[in-house]
Chains A and B, each alone.
With several copies, the nearest count.
Chain A
Amino acid sequence: MRRIELQEAPLDTAALVKTVGTKEDGAVLTFIGTARRGSMGKSVTHLHYEAYESMAIKELGKIADEACSRWPVSDCVIVHRTGTVGLGEPSVFIGVSTPHRAEGFQALQFIIDTIKKTVPIWKKEFFEDGSMWVSERP
């Protein structure tokens, strides 16, 4: 199963985790990115994610394609939030299933590392006293 989506609604990680895994696989690996309080010594109140949606979906698809070509990935689920994400809430869910765990770890790490490099999505951190795009750190 392959599923690649951006969504403005909160991520239902409980439902998502159930969609990953087949009877041919021994390993399901998931990564959930969550909004954390600490950043550069300031206290984050919430995040806002903006995406170039059509291009982001294309780039996520390329990443899934490459992961599936390099490792025996059966299920590949990537869902990323857009809009406002509260503290502790998930911003991205990635799930892969593979016959053995070693390849699952590698595929999962490749997917999240590459998302952070190539997918046109931007995070803005909000603090008590202002906000800042993360790529614009002083």
Chain B
Amino acid sequence: MKITVKLFASVRDLCGFDEKEIIVPEGITVEEVLKRLTVSFPGLGAKRAALLCAINEEYAPPDAALAEGNVLAVFPPVSGG
């Protein structure tokens, strides 16, 4: 199935893209997508513990499963205000 990955701030800088469609197995979890990203961008490994994820603009835990067409956002701790 196809999902969209969106990256922000230092995570985008590190991976070099802000949005990409990727093909993943049905029912893949957030955690598994992050593992795949880390294979392509090893620098993500050191940040892994702090990364936050959202599915369709709602925060999602690592074990959340993705569905066809979902938008998965991956970003570092927020620092607005």
Contact = CB atoms under 8 A, between A and B. Distances in A.
Q: How large is the interface on B (under 10, 10 to 19, 20 to 34, 35 or more residues)?
A: 10 to 19
Interface residues of A, number: 27
Given A52-B73, A52-B75, A55-B54, A133 B80 contact: no
Contacts of B6: 52
Consensus secondary structure, chain A interface: mixed
A36 B15 CA distance: 30
Contacts of B25: none
Would you call the interface of chain B mostly helix, strand, loop, or mixed? mixed
Nearest to B73: A52
A91 interface: yes
B78 A118 contact: yes
Given A52-B73, A55-B73, A133-B9, A121 B78 contact: yes
A133 B10 contact: yes
Given A116-B78, A116-B81, A135-B79, 13 more contacts: A50-B8, A52-B75, A54-B57, A55-B57, A56-B80, A91-B80, A112-B81, A115-B81, A120-B8, A121-B81, A122-B75, A122-B78, A136-B76
Interface of A: 33, 49-52, 54-56, 58, 80, 91-92, 112, 115-124, 133-136
